[in-house]
Structure 1
Amino acid sequence: MNTKKAIQSFRQNVTDKYTIYNSLFAALPFSGIANVGALLPILLQACIDGYQEGKSPMNIIDQFFERHTMADNEKEKISRLFKFVQYIERQVVLFDAIEDAAFDSVNQLNGTGSLKALYNEAYFKGKLPLLKEKLRSFKVRVVLTAHPTQFYPGNVLGIIHDLGEAIAKNDFETINLYIQQLGITPFFNKKQPTPFDEAINLMWYLENILYKSIGNIYNFIHEEILNEENNNPFIELGFWPGGDRDGNPFVNAATTLKVAESLRSAIIVCYYRDIRLLKRRLTFAGVDQLITQLEAQLYENVFRPEDSRRVQQKELLEKLNAIKAMVIADHHGLYLNRINSLINKVTIFGTWFASLDIRQDSRIHTAVIADIDETLKRQDKKGILPDDYASLSETEKIKILLSVESVIEPTDTTSTIAKDTVESIFAIHSIQQLNGEQGCHRYIISNCQSALNMIEVYTLFKLCGWNIQQLSVDIVPLFETIEDLKNAEGIMTWLYELPVYKKHLKARNHAQTIMLGFSDGTKDGGYLQANWSIYQAKEILTGISRKFGIKVKFFDGRGGPPSRGGGKTNKFYASMGNAIENEEIQLTIQGQTITSNFGTLKSAQYNLEQLLSAGISNTVFAENRKDIIAENKVLLEELGKISHEVYQSFKKHPQFLPYMQQFSPLNYYSKSNIASRPGKRGNANQLVFEDLRAIPFVGSWSQLKQNVPGYFGVGTALQKMKDAGRWEEVKTLFNEVAFFRTLIDNSMMSMLKSFFPLTAYIQEDAAYGPIWKLIKEEYDLTQALVLELSGNQLLMEEDATGRASILMRDKIVLPLLTIQQYALHQLKKETISEEEKTNYEKLVTRSMFGIINAARNSA
C-alpha cells in the first residue's frame, strides 16, 4: 500500500470515524459532567494556541478558567479538571477501539511479513524445502509480563474489544450503548493490585485472543505448508506474573502455585468450550459417546478440580486422536478440520497454557545460601559453607558449592525471603507434576554478574532435593548493564568448560537460554550504546556457544518504547546477521504493547506472523542477510562510545534526578495503584539512580514529552562523525546495515512523540533551565541529523499511518499533559492545604493513565 493510499485509508477508517463517534461523548452519563463535552474542545484549542504562543501550562489553564468558566475557587477548578481527565481517558479508549476495528484496513494482513507472503516467496525462489526444514524447529516464544505500563483494568479491556467489533460492523446503536457503559465504568484501581490480580488480568488475552490466533497460525502452517505430522508448536507462551520475584516483595511461592493452577484452569475451560461446540457437529454413532465422555471429564476438571482426576496433555491427545480415527474410518472425515484444530491447540498449550518463569536477583541467592548455612549451624546441624567462605575466591566458592550434598526443607531457613526462595524451588516441582514440565521450567537470574551466580542457583536446586543429573529446569542468566554484557563472554565460557554444567546442558538437549535486558541496558548506557552492546554480546555468545556445541537461545527483555527495546520489533529481528544464532525468537511483551500488538485476533495474528517470518526469513533467505563487516563494526563502536560518554555525562549532571522529580510524575508511580510491585528497588528513603526502575524512568521522560532515553547522545555521536569528515561513512552505514537503520527509525519514533513546548517554561528556571536547554539542544541536533541521514523531511515519514496515529493520540492527550504539569506546579506551592495537596496528587496519578494508555503504539 503506497503512502497516499495508506493515509487515505487511515483518514477514512480511523480519523473520520473518531470524529463521528467522539460526538457521542456529549451524552456520557457522568455525574455532574455538564458542559465538559462542550468545553473540552475549547481547552484543547487553548492548549494548541497557547503553546504556539509560548505560554506555560499554568498560564493556559488559568486563562481557560478565567475566560470560559465561572469556577472561582480551587475546589471547583480541581473538580472540573478531574472531569476533563475522565472524559479524555474514555476518548483514548474510543480511539483504541477504532484503530482495532480498522486494523485490517490499515495493514496488509497478507502482505510482506505474513506467512502467506513468506510461503509465496519461498515457492517462487525454489526454497520450499528449506522453509519446511526451518519450520520443523524454529519457534517464537512470547512472554507476557505484568510490568506497570498498562492501566486498563480487565473490564475496560473487554469494552475495548466489544466496542471494536461494533465499530467494525458500523453498529451505531450498540456503539452508543458501549460508550455509555464506558462513562460509568471505573478506570483505575482503588487499591493496589496483587500479583495474582495481575495474572488474572493478563489471562484475558490468553483465553480471548492468543488461544485462537496462535491456533489459527498453527493450522495454517500445518495444513498449507508442512502437510505432515509435526511436534513443533511454532509459537509458545511464557508468563511472568506470579513468578517474577525480582524486586517484588509481594510475590511468593503460594502465589506461584495459585497462578499455575489458574493457567491450567483457563486452558481447560478453553478446551471445554471447544469440545461443546464440536459435540454439536460430531453427532455420529460411536463418536458421540467418545466426545460426551471427554466433555464430562473436562467439566469435572473445570468445575470440581480438587475432586477430579487431573487430565494431562497425553491423555487429551489420545482421546482426540481416537475420535479423529473413527471419523476418518466410519464417517467420511466430516468436520475433520475442526478436530485437527483442537488437536493442534492441545499440542501447543497442553495443560499449562503459558509457561511460568521464575525470576530472582542474584544477590538474593547469595544471601539465601548464607542464611541456610547459618540456620543449619544454629540448629546444631552440619553447615554447608566453611567459616571463611566470604573471603574465598570465586573459583573456590564454586568448588565448595558443587561439593554440597545436603538436602534441606523450607524450615532450614530464617529470613522470609530465604524461606520463599526455597519454597519457590519446591513449587516448580509441584507445577511440573500438575501441568507438565512445560508448566514451569526456567529460572532467570537477574543482575547475573558471574559464573558463581549461576552455580548458586544450581546448588539451591540440589539443596531442595532435585535430581541434579536430570534437572528439568533451564538456568537462565540475565545480562543487562553495559558492564554485564561485556562480562557475559567470560562467564558463559567458564560455565561451558565446567564438567558439572556441561552435564546439565547435555540433559537439556545441549541448549542454553541467555536473557539480555534492553530496559536497564538503555537506562545504564544510553540508547545507541545499549543496543550495540546487546548486538555484540549476541554475536560473541553465539560464537562461543557454537564452539562448545551449544545451541544458544536469546531471550530479549523488551519493553514498549524504543528506549526499552521496543519499536518495530519485527524489523529488529529481521536485521540480525548470520553470526547471531537464529534458533528461536524469545521476547517479553508488556503493558500497552500487549494491548496494541495482541489486543485483537487480527492484530495478534498479524504481529505473531511478522515475528515468525522475520526469524525464518533470516535462514531461508540467508543470502539477503548481510553481516556487519569489520569497518562498519568499527564505526558502530565509535558511535556507541561517543553516545555513551555523552549520556554518562548527562546522568552525572547534579540536577539529573531532581529535574525528573520536580517536573515529571516520577515520585507518583508508587501511588497510582497500577502494579503490585514498588516503583523502585531497595528501601532507601532517598532516591538513587541505581534503585530507579526502568519503567518509571522511561515513563517519566515520556510524560514530560522529552523521551530522553530514546535518542540522547545519538545526535552528538553523528555530529562528531560529520565534523571529522566521515558523514559519507555514516550514510553508507545507514543505507547498508539494517540493524543501524532500525535503530535510527525507532529513535525517530521517540522524537516524534516528544513535545518541548509543554515544558519550555522550565528554561527560565534558574536551577533547572540549563538542563532543559541541554536536553532540547541534543533533541534538535539529533532530529536534524537523522532527517538528513534518512533523506526525509519529517520524522517517521516512511511509516505514514504510524505517524498519523501518534500525532492523533498526542493531540487527544494534550490537555491531559497540560493538566498534569499544572497539578505538579500547584503541588510546589508553599501555601497549599492538605486537602488540595491530596487532590492534586490524585490529579497527577489519574492523568498518568490516559497519557500512558494513549502511547500504546510505542511497540
Structure 2
Amino acid sequence: MSSPTSSPTREQLRTEGFELIDEKLSYLTDCLAEALKSLGETELIPYLPWSGSVPDDNPPEGTQQLYSIGFQLLNMVEERVASAIRREREKALGSTSIRGLWPRALKDLSALGFSPKEIVDVLGDVDVQPVLTAHPTEAKRGSVRERHRALYELLARTENQKYTDREKHRTRERIITAMETLWRTGEIHVVRPDIFRELRDAIHYLRDLFPLALDRLDLHFTEAWREAGFPLTELRSGGYIPRLSFGTWIGGDRDGHPLVTPEVTAKALDQLRRGAFQLLHRELEHLGTQLTLSCHLNPVSEDLEIRIDELAFTLGDEETATEIHDRFHEEPWRHLVSLMAARMKKQVEGGHGYQSKEMLADDLDLLSESIRATGCTLIEEQYIRPIRQKLDVFGFHLATLDVRQNSEFHDKAISQLLEAAKIPDGENYGSWPEEKRVAFLNEELQSARPFLHDTASAGTEADLVLDCYRVLADHLSQHGHGGLGSLIVSMTRQLSDLLGVFLLAREAGLTEITNDGPVCPLEVVPLFETIDDLENAPGILGDFLAHPVVKRQKAECQQVMLGYSDSNKDCGILSAAWALHEAEENLTEVGKQHGIKLRFFHGRGGTISRGAGPTHWFMAALPHGSLAGGFRMTEQGETIGQKYANPANATFNLELLVAGAAITTATHRLPSPGREPAKDFLPELTKVSQKAYQTLIRAEGFIDFYRQVTPIDALENSRIGSRPARRTGNKGHSISDLRAIPWVFSWTQARFYLPGWFGVGSGLHHLKTESPERFAAFKEAVRQSTFLGYTLTNVETNLASANLDLMKAYAELVTDAELRERFMEIIIAEFERTRDLLAEIFDGHMAERRPRMAKTLEIREAPLRVLHRQQVHLLKEWRALVAAGKDSEAEALFPRLLLSINAISSGLRTTG
C-alpha cells in the first residue's frame, strides 16, 4: 500500500489493485475450503484454484463446479477491487481523473467552451435507454445469482476496518455458510427456462436495482455539477436531465422465437405494469417515513388539506383511511403520502387507483410545493425529487416493450391475408418484385378498411402478427402509450418490408384516423444487419422518410436499429465495424436531408465479436454528428449481471453510459473535425479482410470442421435460454440460419475467438507487403483515429483471450485428419499474422501495454486449461454415445457437459 503522506501514482494504484485482488481472492478461497470441509468434500480441497499448483492429472469430477465457483468469486473480487481503486484514485488524483464519469465529462464540456446554460441545453436532448434482452447467453440460474448478491454484500463488509475481531469472525462464518449454500445450489438449467422466468429476472433489475442506482447516479451528477462551480438552479431548470429510461425485448422479441405468442406479450405488459406499481408503492412507503413534519410547527396549505380529504374518500376503504388518519393527522404530509401509498397498493393487488402516472405526478407536485412553502427545501430535494424522477423514468410500465419480427415472417402473414381476401396472385406476395409490392402497398395504405373481419383467420403467421398487434391496440386504449415501444423489422432489405407493417397494423386496428389518413401510433423501425443491408440502408431509409404514410406521423425523430452480430458473422469483424460506421454516417446524412433526427439503436451483444466494448469509448468512436442525444443499446444475457448485479457496479456503468452520451452529443454539435484519418486505407483493408474471412467460412468442408472443433452441438441442446439457437429451429449445416450468439459462443468455448479477429491480419499483411510506405502512414493514422483505435484494440483483446494450445486440443475432436490440418493451418497462420502485425502497429505486445488486461487473463489461464481439457474429453465421450444411439447414456452425461460450458463461461466472463 502507498504511504499515507504521499499521493500514489497511477502505476502505484494499479499495483495496489493487483495486490488487493490476490489478497481478497486468497481470503475467499480459504473460506471456500472451509465450506468444502464442512460439507465433507475434502477430496476437492487440494484442487482449489490459486491455492497452489494446478493439477495435470485427472482431477475428481467435482472440479468443474469447484473451478466454476472459483471463477465466480474471482469475478466478484475484480468488481469490488475496481470500485475500491476508483475510490482511491479519486482521493489521490481528484474526481476528474476517472475518464467517462460526470466530473471528467463536465470538465471536458467546459474545456470545449460550453457554458452551464449550454450544457443544460445539450443535456435536454440526451435520452439514453438500455434495452434488456434475454438472448441465450446467461448460463447461470437465477438462484445462483441470488447467492452471488449475498456473497458480494458480505465481501463488502470485510472491508470495514472498524469491525472488532468478533465481528470479523462473524462475517467470515456467514461467508462460509453462503458458500455452502452456493455449492448445494444447482448451477445449470436442467430444463430450459421459460420466458416468464427471464422476465422475472429482468423485472428484478428494473424494479429493485435500477431505482437505487438512479438515486446514486443523480446524486453523483448533482455533486459533480456543484464541484464544477455551476449553479444548481440552472440544472434544475432543465427538469430531469439527462433522461435515462429502460426498454426490454422479453415477451416482445418474436424473431425466430415461436414461444413469444400474443398471450405472452399481453402477460409481459401486465407484469411490467405491476412491477412499476410495486416500485412506486415501496418508494411512497419510504417517503412517508421521512415526512414527519408537524402541523403545529409548519404552515399547512388549504390545497393539501383538501387533497387529503379527497384521497381518503376515493380510496374506497374506510377502515384503512381511518387508520391512516388516526396515526398521522398531526403530520399532514405523511398523512397524504400514506394515502397515496394505500392507493398504489390497491393497484399492486389489481384494484383501482391512479388512472395515470400524471395523476400521481400531480399529487407529488403538490407535496413538493407545500414542502417548499415551509422552507424545507432540502427535504424536497433529497426525498421528494427522487421519487418524482423515478415516476418520470419508470412510469406505470417499468420499461417499454419492443415488438420485433422478421421481414420474411411478415411477408408470409401478408400473403395469407391477400390470399384470404382473394387478391389476385396474393399468395405469392413474398416473391413479387419490389416495384409491384410498393405500388400495391401505396394504394392500400390510403384506405382505413381492413381486408378481413377481425374474427376471421387467414393463416398461422397472419393470426400471430395480427393478434399481437391487437394486444398492443388494447393496451393502448386502456393505458395509453406508456410501456409500448416500437415495431422493429429485423432483416429489413427493402422499403416494402417497412410499409408492410403499416398494412398489418391497419388490419389489426392498430391505427389512429387523422385528417391526413390512418396513422400507426407506434414507431416502425428498420433493423439493418447484413453487410448488403447496411450498404443499402441509406436508400431504404430515404425512401421511407419521404413516404406519405411516414410523413403523416409528423415525427421529429426516427429510430434506426443496427445489428452488430449478423454483420460480423456475415463478413468478419473489421469489415462489419467499418460497414456499420459508414452506414451510420450515411444514414445520419439522410436524416438531415429530411429534417429528421435519427436515434440509433445499437444491437450490441455481450462479446466484442457482437459489438461489445467499453461503452464510453464506443460512443467516442461513432461518426461525427450521428449522436443527436437519443441513444439505445441492447444489454444481453450475462452482460446484464456483470454490469448491474450490485448497486455500485450498476451506478458506475449507468454513469459511463449517460455521461458518455452527454459528452458525445455535445461534441457532435461542434463543427466536424474532418475526415476519418484512416478512411483512405479502410476500403482496401476491409475488402481483403472480408475476402479472407468469407473464403474460410465458405470453404468446402468448413461446416463439418466447425461442428466438430467447437461444442456447437452441445450448445444447440443446452437449456441456457428460452429461445432456439437457430432462426428456423432446424439443426442443419447452415451458418446463415445459425444465430450469431451460438456462433460466437461456440468459438469462445473452444478458445478460438475466431469471429473477433479472423481476416484482420490478412488485410494488414496485404497493406504492408503491397506498400510499406502506406502501411507506415496507416500506422500513424491509427494513432489519430478513434474508430480504428477502438476497433483494433478490441481485436487485440480477442487475440489475447484466444489460446493456441487449446485450439489445437479442440482440433483433435475433428475426426478427419486432412480436414483438421487444412483448416488449422489457415487459422493458425492468420492468428499469428494478426497478432504480430497488431504488435507492430501498437509498438509492443498487449501484455506490455495493458498490464491490467494481462493480469485478468493470466490469473484465469491455469484453471481454465484444466476445464478445457475436461470439456474436450466430455465432448468426445458424449458424441460417441450419440453416434452409437445410446440416447439415455448421452442424456445422463449431458449435465456434466453443461456444467463444463458454465464453468468455462465463468472463467472467460463471457459466452456469446
1:334 deviates by 5.8
Letter in 1 for 2:35: L
Decide which moves more: 235-244 or 494-503.
494-503
Letter in 2 for 1:118: A
Q: Residue 327 in 1 paired to residue 371 in 2?
A: yes
Q: In 2, distance between residues paired with 1:761 and 1:782?
A: 21
Cα separation, partners in 2 of 1:359 and 1:42, compared to 1, 3 Å: closer
- Name the SS of the counterpart of 1:516 in structure 2: strand
Cα separation, partners in 2 of 1:491 and 1:834, compared to 1, 3 Å: closer
Decide which moves more: 757-766 or 280-289.
757-766
1:579 deviates by 4.2
- Name the SS of the counterpart of 1:187 in structure 2: coil
1:815 deviates by 2.0
Aligned residues: 819
Letter in 2 for 1:568: P
Q: In 2, distance between residues paired with 1:686 and 1:392?
A: 28
- Name the SS of the counterpart of 1:587 in structure 2: strand
Decide which moves more: 342-351 or 181-190.
181-190
Q: Residue 121 in 1 paired to residue 170 in 2?
A: no
Q: 2:528 aligns with which of 472, 479, 489?
A: 479
Cα separation, partners in 2 of 1:121 and 1:686, compared to 1, 3 Å: closer
* Structure 2 residue aligned with 1:773: 825
Q: In 2, distance between residues paired with 1:472 and 1:333?
A: 40
Cα separation, partners in 2 of 1:835 and 1:419, compared to 1, 3 Å: closer
Decide which moves more: 169-178 or 358-367.
169-178
Q: 1:237 aligns with which of 237, 240, 246?
A: 246
* Structure 1 residue aligned with 2:864: 813
Q: In 1, distance between residues paired with 2:863 and 2:453?
A: 56
Judge conservation of contact 2:758–2:831 (CA < 8 Å) in 1: yes
- Name the SS of the counterpart of 1:632 in structure 2: coil
* Structure 1 residue aligned with 2:177: 177
Cα separation, partners in 2 of 1:517 and 1:399, compared to 1, 3 Å: same
Q: Residue 437 in 1 paired to residue 445 in 2?
A: no
Residue by residue over 1:762-819, the C-alpha shift from the partner in whole angstroms, topping out at 9 and shown as x without a partner, is 6673331221221111111111111111112335x54433332233234443322221
Q: 1:15 aligns with which of 6, 14, 22?
A: 22
How high is the TM-score relative to the length of structure 1?
0.90
Cα separation, partners in 2 of 1:44 and 1:520, compared to 1, 3 Å: farther
* Structure 2 residue aligned with 1:393: 433
Q: Mark the runs of 5 or more structure 1 residues left unpaired by the alignment.
A: 48-59, 69-79, 378-382
1:681 deviates by 1.8
* Structure 2 residue aligned with 1:760: 808
Decide which moves more: 541-550 or 213-222.
213-222
Letter in 1 for 2:434: E
Q: Residue 497 in 1 paired to residue 546 in 2?
A: yes
* Structure 2 residue aligned with 1:51: none
Pairs within 5 Å for 1:513-552 = 513-552=559-598
Q: 2:43 aligns with which of 32, 35, 49?
A: 35
Judge conservation of contact 2:709–2:811 (CA < 8 Å) in 1: no
Q: In 2, distance between residues paired with 1:374 and 1:203?
A: 41
Judge conservation of contact 2:242–2:658 (CA < 8 Å) in 1: no
Residue by residue over 1:58-102, the C-alpha shift from the partner in whole angstroms, topping out at 9 and shown as x without a partner, is xx6xxx24xx7xxxxxxxxxxx42x12222222122223222332
Cα separation, partners in 2 of 1:365 and 1:672, compared to 1, 3 Å: same
1:6 deviates by 4.1
Q: In 2, distance between residues paired with 1:837 and 1:389?
A: 45
Q: Residue 736 in 1 paired to residue 784 in 2?
A: yes
Q: In 1, distance between residues paired with 2:674 and 2:529?
A: 23
Judge conservation of contact 1:577–1:628 (CA < 8 Å) in 2: no
* Structure 2 residue aligned with 1:197: 197
Q: In 1, distance between residues paired with 2:837 and 2:468?
A: 51
Compute the RMSD of aligned alpha carbons.
2.6
Q: Residue 402 in 1 paired to residue 432 in 2?
A: no
1:3 deviates by 5.5
Q: In 2, distance between residues paired with 1:763 and 1:470?
A: 56
Q: 2:404 aligns with which of 355, 359, 372?
A: 359
Decide which moves more: 198-207 or 224-233.
224-233
Q: In 1, distance between residues paired with 2:467 and 2:615?
A: 36
* Structure 1 residue aligned with 2:84: 105
Q: 1:5 aligns with which of 12, 19, 27?
A: 12
Pairs within 5 Å for 1:555-574 = 555-574=601-620
1:40 deviates by 4.9
Cα separation, partners in 2 of 1:619 and 1:266, compared to 1, 3 Å: closer
- Name the SS of the counterpart of 2:487 in structure 1: strand
Pairs within 5 Å for 1:388-467 = 392-404=432-444, 405=447, 406-407=449-450, 408=452, 411-465=455-509, 466-467=511-512
Q: In 1, distance between residues paired with 2:179 and 2:213?
A: 27
1:122 deviates by 3.2
Q: How much identity, in percent, do the aligned residues show?
A: 25
Judge conservation of contact 2:273–2:397 (CA < 8 Å) in 1: yes
Q: In 2, distance between residues paired with 1:728 and 1:208?
A: 53
1:188 deviates by 1.7
Letter in 2 for 1:841: F
Q: 2:798 aligns with which of 750, 754, 767?
A: 750
Q: 2:282 aligns with which of 269, 273, 276?
A: 273
Letter in 1 for 2:395: G
Letter in 2 for 1:36: L
Judge conservation of contact 2:868–2:904 (CA < 8 Å) in 1: yes
* Structure 1 residue aligned with 2:299: none
Residue by residue over 1:580-628, the C-alpha shift from the partner in whole angstroms, topping out at 9 and shown as x without a partner, is 3433221111112112222222222222222223232234345999756
Judge conservation of contact 1:577–1:626 (CA < 8 Å) in 2: no
Pairs within 5 Å for 1:5-404 = 5-28=12-35, 33-41=41-49, 45=53, 64-65=57-58, 80-81=60-61, 83-107=62-86, 110=95, 111-123=98-110, 126-128=113-115, 129-170=117-158, 171-218=171-218, 221=221, 224=225, 226-230=235-239, 232=241, 234-284=243-293, 285-302=331-348, 304-305=349-350, 307-309=351-353, 311-330=355-374, 332-333=376-377, 335-336=379-380, 337-377=382-422, 392-404=432-444
Letter in 2 for 1:115: W
Letter in 1 for 2:109: A
1:232 deviates by 4.8
Letter in 2 for 1:173: E
Residue by residue over 1:211-230, the C-alpha shift from the partner in whole angstroms, topping out at 9 and shown as x without a partner, is 22134334554684612142
* Structure 1 residue aligned with 2:297: none
Q: In 1, distance between residues paired with 2:241 and 2:521?
A: 19
Q: In 2, distance between residues paired with 1:126 and 1:248?
A: 49
Q: In 1, distance between residues paired with 2:707 and 2:749?
A: 12
Letter in 2 for 1:855: L
Letter in 2 for 1:804: K
Letter in 1 for 2:385: N
Q: In 1, distance between residues paired with 2:645 and 2:283?
A: 21
Judge conservation of contact 1:134–1:619 (CA < 8 Å) in 2: yes
1:384 deviates by 9.1
Q: In 2, distance between residues paired with 1:325 and 1:623?
A: 36
Judge conservation of contact 1:442–1:476 (CA < 8 Å) in 2: yes
Q: Mark the runs of 5 or more structure 2 residues left unpaired by the alignment.
A: 1-7, 159-170, 226-231, 294-330
Judge conservation of contact 1:445–1:478 (CA < 8 Å) in 2: yes
1:629 deviates by 2.2
Residue by residue over 1:725-754, the C-alpha shift from the partner in whole angstroms, topping out at 9 and shown as x without a partner, is 222122122101110010011111111111
Letter in 2 for 1:209: L
Decide which moves more: 245-254 or 487-496.
487-496
Q: Residue 803 in 1 paired to residue 782 in 2?
A: no
Q: In 2, distance between residues paired with 1:389 and 1:195?
A: 32
Decide which moves more: 121-130 or 619-628.
619-628
Judge conservation of contact 2:31–2:172 (CA < 8 Å) in 1: no
Cα separation, partners in 2 of 1:10 and 1:430, compared to 1, 3 Å: farther
Cα separation, partners in 2 of 1:499 and 1:350, compared to 1, 3 Å: same
1:540 deviates by 0.6
Q: In 1, distance between residues paired with 2:532 and 2:282?
A: 50
